[in-house]
Structure 1
Amino acid sequence: METMCGSIMRELQAIWDEVGEPEAARDRMLLELEQECLEVYRRKVDQANRSRAQLRQAIAQSEAELAAVCSAMGEPPIHFKQSNQKACGLREELCAILPYLEEMKRKKAERWNQFLDVVGRIKKISSEIRPENFMPFEVPVDQSDISLRKLEELRVELQSLEKEKSERLKQVMEYLKTLHSLCEVLGINFKQTISEIHPSLDEAEGPMNISNTTIEMLALAIQRLCETKMQRMQKLQDLASTMLELWNLMDTPIEEQQAFQNVTCNIAASESELTEHNTLSIEFLNYVEAEVLRLEQLKSSKMKELVLKKNTELEEHRRRAHLIGEEGYATQFTIEAIEAGAIDPSMLLEQIEAYISTVKEEAFSRKDILERVEKWLNACEEEAWLEDYNKDDNRYNAGRGAHIMLKRAEKARVLVNKIPGMVDVLETKTIVWENERGNEFTYDGIRLISMLEEYMIVREEKEQERKRQRVLTVY
């Protein structure tokens, strides 16, 4: 370089000598030449400085980016401090960092894709189970924290949501099954019912809406249909009871009853036992109600016969309860009065029904005492037989059947000896009954206490007579 510069300067001096350039001009031109050379050097130095600064900035940025990626992924930072900076230039240092940076960027991209997959599934399930709270543009995580810990947290959240979704689906399917059963029994369109709750419930394809609102609406629909079922079931059972009552009143043939056996068989059924199709539909209830109305109309035409039948039933209940002669249960009516319209047969029938109910209640309260009265009367019959038997002088003859009569007599004596105890118990229970009800206990129109007292008096007289006979026999 110095040789080339010296040669050029000599060539320039020769030109100046030949031209006759003044010394001042020469000095000025040399000064300009020196300044121009300095400016060229300065530009090159500035350019080199800028290149060095860019390399340092690139290194710093790469290190910062690498540190940010490591931090976001939750991994320890990577350091590239050189032990001998002179032995390694900035370009080599940058070239050493870039492979690590690219590798970490690749790992970050893979990790972020995993995050996007999990977050996307979380969003999808959240939109299905909680659509009212779901915000589709809200991102629950960003790239500043994509560590394995954060990914695991999201996966745990996803598992929780999947479990919740599974439980909700199970609950919805159970609700749909219950709803279908109710609709079948009530004769209601199942598909229309669930479509009104949410259209997705009736779609064969696509996700089913399992939000809180849908589940609550399904529960409300089930509750409403259960209430409807209970009301209709009560109505059906009332109609069945009326139908049975009318059948019994009018002695309806079994052949006519067969058509409504599916109604009367459910008269005491519980809510869970009614599962047959259209058992409680409006059409079926109207059909049954029409039949009951027909029977009611038929009943009106046969009211006179029913009144006579019910009155006979009343008398039979009174006879069984030994209430014959009780004026409180007497019914004053004539067939002529019914035919003439002087007495409402329906009201009369209700009156007789009320009498029957009263007699049944009375009979129930008298049941225990009446059973004891029957035992006492049976014992009295045995007592009378025993008296006749004792008067028979041939009773010990060894004739045919004598041993049988003897055994009966032994049993009769045992039973007769119990009669005073029977009478005491009967008197006690009868007095308690009369005190509780404020009324006399009668048996076929006679006060039972009087019957017992009279019996005991007669029994005592017979006993005294037997004692006198024995004394006379001795003397």
Structure 2
Amino acid sequence: MQRKTMAHKGCGLREELSAIVPYLEEMKKRKVERWNQILDVIGKIKKISSEIRPADFVPFKAPVDQSDLSCRRLEELRMELQSLEKEKSERLKQVMDYLNTLHSLCKVLAVDFKQTISDVHPSLDEDGVPMNISNTTIERLALAIQRLRETKIERMQKLQDLSSTMLELWNLMDTPIEEQQSFQNITCNIAASEPEITEANALSIDVMNFVEAEVLRLEQLKVSKMKDLVLKKQTELEEHRRRAHLVGDEHYATQFNIEAIEAVINVVIVCFIAGAIDPSLLLEQIEAYIATVKEDAFSRKDILERVERWLNACEEEAWLEDYSKDDNRYNAGRGAHIMLKRAEKARVLVNKIPGIVDVLTNKVIAWEKERGTEFTYDGVSLLSMLDDYRIVREEKEQEKKRQRDQKKLEDQFKAEQELLYGSKPSPSSRSNSGKKLTRNPSAGTNRRLSVGGGPVRTPKSLTPQ
């Protein structure tokens, strides 16, 4: 009975072993698969870590062995791999952005792009080799971009300064448009900002040298034409002064006369060759004086317009004086009606002269009070001209009144004589009958005002005749 029991137990162990062996083989297989999965993940982690970490970086603080092959451990490794892959993707994107920026800068500056990125890291320019995206590579790319951007800004500012100088010289010397066409793609960026300049070779060394050579040529041409340019500016200055009825002082007369200009030009040319002075110094002085004259002319514009109106009225007043003394003015001759119409208009305008003078005087007084200087017209105080006109006008009015009173007395005396002796023509009246009244030679005489020793234009008469 005991032997049978033992036989039954032995049979049971073999059956149990036979039942356990498949499970054991399955567990071994799953262990190998799990270990291979872990090894695969670890391999990927090490590969990515080698690309994005420094060479001495150790991805695992604790050694990885087969002591822990749990799903939890595999999931931890996969999470770490996912984090590294995300970091790698971000780094790749950053590196590509840096490379695009670097390529754009190299294109504008005409710098070898491949050599530039190869200097940063050789893997950036090698096909089939994983691109190094470590912190060191990214930092070097950022430094390269910063260096090239600083170079771009420096060249851009220099080129814009050269372009501005070139445009000024072209304008100064009336350079034909045809000669300016070859620089059009350069001058169009004269006011551009750094991001707006993206054309290939726009800031290359060759372009910089090209513009520098043109500016140097124009500067040399400018020096050779300095005398003509200065005399042209002097003529422009005198024209502005003439229009504004301004007269130069002694300082201006000595500083800007022909002899002084020629002497200064000779000095400027010598100093320019020696590199000690800007040849545009004299031109800048004259241009500054022109700007001052323009400013003065603008402040005088309203008064000058009223002065012209007054002077024109004075001319009409002088003409009306002459016309009134012509005994034949009412004869039905050819064109007599035209002269009559003009006389009517002249009388209307002459009657407005006192009002014009009063308003003009108030304007001049206000102008002088505001600016603290005397208002001159071709070198003569305008207020004194107006005062002189008033005085002479009053004298003429008094003279006319005296003549009317004298004529009245003469007519009264003649009437008394006719009552006593009867009407009898006098020899003088017979001799003067039919004669045309001659024009007063003093009427309409131009008033001459001395400005710097020479006469200037003045109205036909500043006073009523």
TM-score by length of 1: 0.60
Q: Secondary structure at the match of 1:260?
A: helix
- Paired position in structure 2 for 1:151: 74
Q: 1:252 aligns with which of 156, 172, 175?
A: 175
- Paired position in structure 2 for 1:344: 268
Cα deviation, residue 219, structure 1: 1.5
Deviations 1:154-175 (A, max 9, x none): 3333233222222222222222
- Paired position in structure 2 for 1:306: 229
User: Take 1:425 and 1:336, find their aligned partners in 2: how far apart are those partners?
Assistant: 38
User: Take 1:247 and 1:361, find their aligned partners in 2: how far apart are those partners?
Assistant: 21
The 8 Å contact of residues 107 and 200 in structure 2, kept in 1 or not, is answered as yes
Cα deviation, residue 96, structure 1: 4.9
Q: Give, as a single letter, the amino acid of the residue that structure 2 aligns with 1:155.
A: R
Cα deviation, residue 316, structure 1: 4.6
User: Take 2:244 and 2:91, find their aligned partners in 1: how far apart are those partners?
Assistant: 63
The 8 Å contact of residues 246 and 379 in structure 2, kept in 1 or not, is answered as no
- Paired position in structure 2 for 1:188: 111
- Paired position in structure 2 for 1:280: 203
Alpha-carbon distance change, 246 to 166 in structure 1, aligned in 2, over 3 angstroms: same
Q: Give, as a single letter, the amino acid of the residue that structure 2 aligns with 1:369.
A: S
The 8 Å contact of residues 375 and 382 in structure 2, kept in 1 or not, is answered as no
Cα deviation, residue 446, structure 1: 6.3
Cα deviation, residue 283, structure 1: 1.9
Say if 2:158 is the partner of 1:228: no
Higher mean alpha-carbon deviation, 207-216 vs 453-462, is at 453-462
Cα deviation, residue 428, structure 1: 6.0
Deviations 1:71-90 (A, max 9, x none): xxxxxxxxxxxxxx979966
Alpha-carbon distance change, 340 to 350 in structure 1, aligned in 2, over 3 angstroms: closer
Deviations 1:364-397 (A, max 9, x none): 8658734554676688689989999xx9xxxxxx
Q: Secondary structure at the match of 2:54?
A: coil
Alpha-carbon distance change, 225 to 384 in structure 1, aligned in 2, over 3 angstroms: farther
Q: Give, as a single letter, the amino acid of the residue that structure 2 aligns with 1:211.
A: S
Deviations 1:271-318 (A, max 9, x none): 223222222211222222222222222223222222222323444555
Alpha-carbon distance change, 259 to 342 in structure 1, aligned in 2, over 3 angstroms: closer
Q: Secondary structure at the match of 2:129?
A: coil
Give me the identity figure in percent: 57
Say if 2:48 is the partner of 1:118: no
The 8 Å contact of residues 368 and 375 in structure 2, kept in 1 or not, is answered as no
RMSD (Å) for aligned C-alpha atoms = 5.2
Cα deviation, residue 233, structure 1: 1.6
Say if 2:188 is the partner of 1:265: yes
Aligned pairs for 1:342-381 (under 5 A) are: 343-345=267-269, 350-359=280-289, 362=292, 369-370=299-300, 372-373=302-303
The 8 Å contact of residues 307 and 360 in structure 2, kept in 1 or not, is answered as no
Cα deviation, residue 247, structure 1: 2.2
- Paired position in structure 1 for 2:214: 291
TM-score by length of 2: 0.61
Cα deviation, residue 193, structure 1: 0.9
Cα deviation, residue 139, structure 1: 7.0
Alpha-carbon distance change, 250 to 149 in structure 1, aligned in 2, over 3 angstroms: same
Say if 2:23 is the partner of 1:100: yes
Cα deviation, residue 360, structure 1: 5.8
Deviations 1:342-379 (A, max 9, x none): 64356695443332453365468658734554676688
User: Take 1:235 and 1:373, find their aligned partners in 2: how far apart are those partners?
Assistant: 47
Cα deviation, residue 91, structure 1: 5.8
Alpha-carbon distance change, 188 to 309 in structure 1, aligned in 2, over 3 angstroms: same
The 8 Å contact of residues 317 and 359 in structure 1, kept in 2 or not, is answered as no
User: Take 1:321 and 1:193, find their aligned partners in 2: how far apart are those partners?
Assistant: 63
Aligned residues: 373
Question: Where is the helix percentage greater, Structure 1 or Structure 2?
Answer: 1
User: Take 1:147 and 1:318, find their aligned partners in 2: how far apart are those partners?
Assistant: 101
Cα deviation, residue 431, structure 1: 4.3
Q: Give, as a single letter, the amino acid of the residue that structure 1 aligns with 2:262.
A: I
The 8 Å contact of residues 185 and 279 in structure 1, kept in 2 or not, is answered as yes
Alpha-carbon distance change, 111 to 426 in structure 1, aligned in 2, over 3 angstroms: farther
- Paired position in structure 2 for 1:199: 122
Q: 2:97 aligns with which of 174, 178, 192?
A: 174
Deviations 1:180-206 (A, max 9, x none): 121111111111111111111112322
Q: Secondary structure at the match of 1:259?
A: helix
- Paired position in structure 2 for 1:165: 88
The 8 Å contact of residues 108 and 200 in structure 2, kept in 1 or not, is answered as yes
Structure exhibiting the larger radius of gyration computed from Cα positions: 1
